Structure formats: C-alpha cells, structure tokens
Amino acid sequence: MADPAVQDFHRNLNAGHYEQIYRGADAGLAGEGRHDELIKFLEGVHTKLGDAGAARQLSIRVSATTFGSSIIAQYNTTYTRGSAIETFTWVKKNGNLKLYGYDIRSNALVAN
C-alpha cells in the first residue's frame, strides 16, 4: 500500500497540488494551525529540488496495535536537482493510508 501512496504524493507535489496533500493528510500532520506551515514546506521542497522522479523503497516497518495500523516507509528519490531520502509515516484508516509524517533529507535542499 505504501508505494501507490508515495506515487500519489509525488504526483501531487510535482503538479503543485500542495493543498490536496494537506487535505488528504491525517490531523497529526495537517492539524489545526499547521496549514500554512505545511504548504510552505512542500512548496520549498518542490522549488529547491524540482520534480520527483524515480523512488526506490529502502525500508518499511508496519505496526499494528489496538489503536490502528501505521506504516513507516523510507525511499531514495531522484529529483530534478538532486536525490533525497524521504521518510513517510502513514496511518491506516478505513482501509486507506493517510499521511501522518513526512521527513526529507537532501544536500540539494541546502545547496540550491
């Protein structure tokens, strides 16, 4: 389930549909008062790195508890202006994955 969710995230990022990413995210990421912060962050990633291309999964951890399931997946993603290690945290709700956390590490974010 993580691969299609990451592909969808990258499609929206590449198209500049930051609002769609925000609206589809879990309240843990897109909670009250976090809208502008998340939109600016995604805009900055896209501006500095360009479009996301190939993403290769490096690791995945699945956790299931009585409160629900979560998936933490790490990808090595090639962007137009460099590569990045991205960590996505998804929570499974009603059979769908909702983005709960996103971390990106890239030297190109500092250099560009």
- CATH architecture assigned to 2-111: Roll (3.10)
Q: How far apart are CA 104 and CA 66, in angstroms?
A: 29
Domain boundaries, the chain: 2-111
State how beta strands 82-93 and 68-79 pair: antiparallel
pLDDT tens digits, 15-70: 999 999 999 999 888 888 889 999 999 999 999 999 999 999 999 999 987 777 89
The C-alpha atoms of residue 40 and residue 25 are separated, in whole angstroms, by 15
Q: Model's pTM, two decimal places?
A: 0.91
The SS3 call for residue 6 is: helix
Q: Which residues fall within 8 angstroms of residue 85, CB to CB, at 6 or more apart? A: 58, 74, 75, 76, 77, 104, 105, 106
